[in-house]
Each structure stands twice: as C-alpha cells, then as structure tokens.
Amino acid sequence: MEKIVRTPIVDFDQSDSPIYLQLVTLFRRQISQGYWPVGERLDSIDTLAQHFGVATGTVRQALAFLEREGLVQRKRRLGTIVLKRPETLDPMTMPRTRADLAGFLDGMTAAPLDPADSGPLPDADPDGLTATSSVYLRGETPVMVETLRFDPAVFASAPSPMAQLSRPDLGAHVLRQTTTIGTADTRSSQTLGIPVNAAVALVAHSLTDPDGAVVLDAGWLMRGDVVNFVESFDTTRVTG
C-alpha cells in the first residue's frame, strides 16, 4: 500500500520561483523533519504528483536535484530511497559592534575564489583599492562568500581586513553596515552548495577614513539558513 505523504498541498502559483525548486524545498523539509526517514522508499512519482498537484516531470526534476545533493537515490523498479538527512548548521548571529565583527570570522577557514565562481573582479580599481574574493567554510561546509575592496596602505591582505576592524588606529574611521535579503542565483548556489533561489543575505560594509575616503568595501553573501539577525549594527566610531 502506498504511504500517505504527510505534508499539506501547497499553492505553488503564489511564488515566482520555479515549481520544481519549491518542490525541492518541501521534499528537503520532509526529510530533515523525519517525515521521510532515512532508508524509506518514497511514494511513486505519480502519487507524489497527484498529491502536490504538479506534473510528473516536475516531480522527476525535484528528485533529480535531491539526488545530486546526495539525499536520495533513484533505483529502477525500486523507486526513490532516502539516503540521508540534509546537513543542519548552528545559526550564526550577526555581530552588533565593530569588535564583535572583527571576531566573526574566527573558527572559519577561507579559500580564495576563482572569478568564475565569485564574479569578475575589477582589473584596475579607480580608487586604487585591491580586490579579492574568498569563500568561508565551517568545517567542510561553505557558508559565506566574501568580496573585498580595500586600501593596501591601510590593510594587509591577511588576515582578512574584516578581522582587523578593531585596531586602535581605525577608531576614528566610520563603519556602516547594510543588509539585503535575496535569493541565490546559479553561481552562488554552486559556490555555497544550496539550491537555486534559496534564501541568502547580502551584508555590505563600508569603512571610511576621517576625510570620508573609502578604505574598505566588503560584501558578505551568506546562506540564509545559517544567519540569525538580532539588533541593528552599531555605527559608532569607537572600537569595541
């Protein structure tokens, strides 16, 4: 007897995201919450399609996506078997002060990114700033892409200029932070290992000297499932 899928029918027309990606999100939730345990054989494609009110081809697309993630395996005549739960990460709480921000990268490892993965960097910055891009990992899981433009006369390239923000000599510099919530495109989904259109947060920082000249522009593209925002960032000039 076919097993009942324990999730409500969803109106997929309410989102601009492709239906199969919305289905991927629902299927991943079914697995992560234990409704579809590891080792379980899923209902037939026809049954899933009927339950969710989508085409069988859409279900196949979603299952193929999950198979590429290593969560399921499709076997001829045996159906689709759940292999493992999606990896869950403890949330990262965004810092409120400059000192907290300087220590935010502690415990993560950085690897340089090829422009093909991060987007093209300027060959010659009009402000004379150096441009770099890196991906940050917690353990073996990529969680954030960092793109920097910084004044090499103010910052050494290592550690990251963002880790140097609590230096006393930068106390008179003004740091601003803005946050935008969006969705992952093809490039960022591949770099961060998340589905296309998954939630991401773009956190931008700008540091200016007492004369108003920009000495650091930084962008953090972060996985939306690991970011925890609390109070707004303190833009005070003092460190700490």
Mean pLDDT for all residues in the chain: 81
Query: Does pLDDT of 1 surpass 50?
Result: no
More confident position, 38 or 187: 38
Task: Check which CATH number belongs to the domain holding 160 and give it.
Answer: 3.40.1410.10
Q: Residue 117 has what pLDDT?
A: 56
pLDDT at 92: 82
- Mean pLDDT calculated for residue range 54-74: 90
**Which stretches within the chain are classed as H helix?**
19-32, 45-52, 56-68, 98-102, 115-118, 186-192
Give yes or no: residues 111 and 154 share one domain.
yes
The pLDDT tens digits for 109-132 are: 999 887 555 555 545 465 788 989
Q: How many domains does the chain have?
A: 2
Q: Which helix (H) or strand (E) holds 135?
A: strand 130-138
Judge whether residue 63 has pLDDT over 80. Answer: yes
Contact assessment for residue 136 and residue 108, using Cβ atoms and an 8 Å cutoff: yes
Residue 179, domain extent: 92-228
Based on the domain organization, do 194 and 154 belong to the same domain? yes
Task: Mark which of 40, 58, 82 sits at the end of a domain.
Answer: 82
What is the CATH number for 60? 1.10.10.10
User: Is it the case that residue 208 has pLDDT exceeding 90?
Assistant: yes
Residue 240: per-residue pLDDT? 38
According to DSSP, the β-strands at 130-138 and 199-208 are unpaired
Per-residue pLDDT of 138-191, as tens digits, reads 887 889 999 999 999 999 877 889 889 889 999 889 999 888 888 888 888 888
Tokens coding 49: 């399609």
CA distance 185 to 14: 20
Residue scoring higher pLDDT (9 or 91): 91
In a domain, 187, yes or no: yes
In this structure, the answer to whether residues 139 and 42 fall within a common structural domain is: no
Bridge partner residues of 204 (DSSP): 178, 219
| Domain end point (choices 25, 50, 82) | 82
| Predicted confidence band of residue 17 (pLDDT cuts 50, 70, 90) | low
Residues 114, 71, single domain; the answer is no
Place of tokens 């996985």: 223
